[in-house]
């Protein structure tokens, strides 16, 4: 009596397709450990002072006329002919006081809000690799088909918090407009589509 019952249960399961991959609930990931100190305080201060020296004495080239006007209104020394801006270190110090240690990105669905900064850890896909690889088709140039597969995977799995810019480069598309095709893909792909062409990884 038990064998037919097990068989009928297996048939019902196969008719529904494979069971979904088990996932943890979406959550904000907090790093309990202090950040790794790659540089000593003295080294960080040396880099800061060198940066101040460059900004004060040599300046930077700013290509935007509007940005040049904003720098000038803020008190920077602006040469409009050469588009060079020299900034006093006092201005930099005051600007740094207004920065925040963290930011919040709120998408169309507030349940998927992203917290940046502090001890929050976010996982995202890489951006711009020229090639992809899988066990079925091997290594190949990036293309829109693989781009859409990777985007669907990122949308499906809770452990991926956000997308980068072009998870692989669709090199078969015109270089001057392929970014529009990838943005369109990001915005329009359904998040519940399980019909992935293949599982691919970027290289």
pLDDT tens for residues 17-56? Answer: 677 888 988 889 999 998 889 999 999 999 999 999 999 9
Whether residue 14 has pLDDT greater than 60: no
Whether residue 164 has pLDDT greater than 60: yes
Q: Provide the 3-class DSSP secondary structure of residue 77.
A: strand
Residue 86 has what pLDDT? 97
Residue 20 has what pLDDT? 80
Q: How confident is the model at residue 193 (pLDDT cuts 50, 70, 90)?
A: very low
Nearest Cα residue to 200 out of 155, 117, 136, 156: 136
Residue 202 has what pLDDT? 44
Please give the DSSP secondary-structure letter assigned to residue 119: T
Residue 190 has what pLDDT? 62
The rounded distance, in Å, linking the Cα atoms of 141 and 53 is 44
Residue 195 has what pLDDT? 38
Q: How confident is the model at residue 123 (pLDDT cuts 50, 70, 90)?
A: very high
Mean pLDDT of the chain, nearest integer: 85
If 0-12 CB within 10 Å is exposed, 13-18 middle and 19+ buried, where does residue 188 land?
exposed
Whether residue 119 has pLDDT greater than 70: yes
């Amino acid at each position: 009596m038990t064998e037919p019952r097990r068989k009928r249960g297996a048939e019902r399961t196969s008719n529904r397709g494979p069971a979904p991959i088990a996932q943890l609930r979406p959550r904000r990931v907090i790093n309990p450990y202090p950040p790794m100190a790659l540089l000593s305080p003295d080294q960080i201060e040396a880099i800061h002072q060198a940066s101040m020296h460059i900004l004060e004495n040599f300046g930077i080239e700013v290509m935007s006329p509007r940005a040049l006007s904003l720098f000038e209104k803020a008190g920077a020394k602006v040469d409009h002919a050469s588009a060079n801006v020299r900034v006093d270190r006092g201005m930099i110090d005051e600007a740094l006081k207004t920065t925040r240690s963290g930011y919040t990105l709120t998408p169309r669905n507030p349940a998927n809000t992203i917290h940046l900064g502090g001890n929050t850890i976010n996982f995202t896909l890489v951006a711009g690799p020229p090639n992809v690889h899988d066990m079925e088709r091997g290594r190949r140039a990036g293309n829109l088909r693989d781009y859409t597969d990777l985007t669907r995977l990122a949308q499906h799995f809770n452990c991926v918090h956000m997308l980068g810019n072009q998870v692989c480069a669709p090199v078969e598309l015109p270089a001057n407009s392929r970014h529009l095709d990838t943005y369109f893909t990001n915005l329009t792909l359904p998040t519940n589509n399980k019909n992935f062409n293949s599982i691919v990884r970027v290289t």
